[in-house]
Chain A
Amino acid sequence: MDDARGSRESDAGVARLLAAARAPAHESEWGGEDDALAAFRRVHGGVHARAAFTGKASRRWLRVTLASVAVGGIAAGVALFGSDLGGGSAPAPGVSVVGPQSGSPGVPTRTGASPQPTPDAAQPQLPGGQPGPTPPASATPDSTPTTVGTSSSSGGGNGSNSNGRAKGHGKALGKGNGNGGGNGNGNSSGQGNGSAGGNGQGN
């Protein structure tokens, strides 16, 4: 009888103890709130800034990429178009035509080395952009033992931190003419592509 009563009383005591442990938070228990908030600001303030930057950067990256593709496409078109023109209208013997025949003031030379207007200048540049890896690209002009048609072309494009170039070099030896076209694309992810083609005709 006494045992049962004691058991009930101890159970009641446990219940009261547990209720005390579950009591609402006291004023003294909120002491660390400011420190926790300060830590939160330190850590997640940076996250906010990064998130904002990422949003702007991604939009800029998209614009630059689209511009790079467009400029690269134009360069390719110009090069191919120029190649067709070059094949149809042969210049004077021994003179190699260099670069895209796009109406730009290119001067035919015998050396085949002539600076080319590249898409780089037309590309929007990101501040602080650094050149990325430049994949090698080469053009192998078609040639024959008797006549060497040479081509030299280059195209380049760059995004925020990359560029792509394609070059084809050749020398005109003997008679013949050559045309070459090249283009290059680059994007802001640091990749560049380039291609160049050259052909030559000889007689």
Chain B
Amino acid sequence: MSYSDKVIDHYNNPRNVGSMDKSSADVGTGLVGAPECGDVMKLQIKVNRDTNVIEEAKFKTFGCGSAIASSSLATEWVKGKTVDEALAIKNMDIVKELSLPPVKIHCSVLAEDAIRAAIGDWKKKQESAKPVTSAVAQ
């Protein structure tokens, strides 16, 4: 099994490496995987609250070349999409784009999980920021 050129490219030139402020109201953070599994991905998104468009995305990954490439690609893909459009990204899209062999498909699944986790985290923040409508009768 050898790596596709795209995986090698992402490994050598990973896109959007870095971190954003976790506590910011516009940032959603997804942390998936586990060190014992050999795969941990942190994916963060910054969403424009008016348009729901993901304006910025950053990632950090502990894992093999395919895992790094999958998460790097994920940040590339979510940028410019709305949150709902980003949720439509499927792991098999990543597999096709990077030509991942069967033994590395789980890396793409984790990347998809990371996207969902980041979006989920952002959504939770938006929910808790909503003002509570009083039910008490005047």
Co-assembled chains A and B: no
Q: Which residues of chain A have a CB within 8 Å of any CB of chain B?
A: none
